Amino acid sequence: MTTQNINQTLSDIYGLEKQLNELPYKVKVKVTLYSKSVEEVIDASKTLNSHLFHPHPDGKNYYWFDYKSKDKKNSIRVKSPYL
């Protein structure tokens, strides 16, 4: 994957994952990352092969997905802006 094809949300996920993996502690971390773009969240979930949750008329009015780091130690929830 080239840098040109990575959207800002994906860049943020990879950067955050790198920082979490470099922590000098043995901890599990759950973080929420808020994207500025609905399209980037949708594209990132496809690229990461993560299940994308859709807005529901009676509930959450945004897209989101959960990304687990390769070592399964950290979890990053990614949310789009409200629709």
Locate 37 and state its tokens.
Answer: 């773009």
Give this prediction's pTM.
0.84
> Is the pLDDT score of 1 beyond 50?
no
pLDDT in tens, 2-35: 344 568 999 999 999 999 888 888 888 999 999 9
Which residues make Cβ contacts (< 8 Å) with residue 61, sequence separation at least 6? 55, 82, 83
* Cα–Cα distance measured from residue 22 to residue 9, given in angstroms and rounded to the nearest whole number: 20
> Is the pLDDT score of 72 beyond 70?
yes
Among 31, 53, 40, which residue's Cα sits nearest to residue 6?
A: 40
The answer to whether the CB of 49 falls within 8 A of the CB of 21 is: no
Which residues make Cβ contacts (< 8 Å) with residue 41, sequence separation at least 6? 9, 35, 52, 63, 64, 65, 78, 79, 80
Over residues 41-62, mean pLDDT: 92
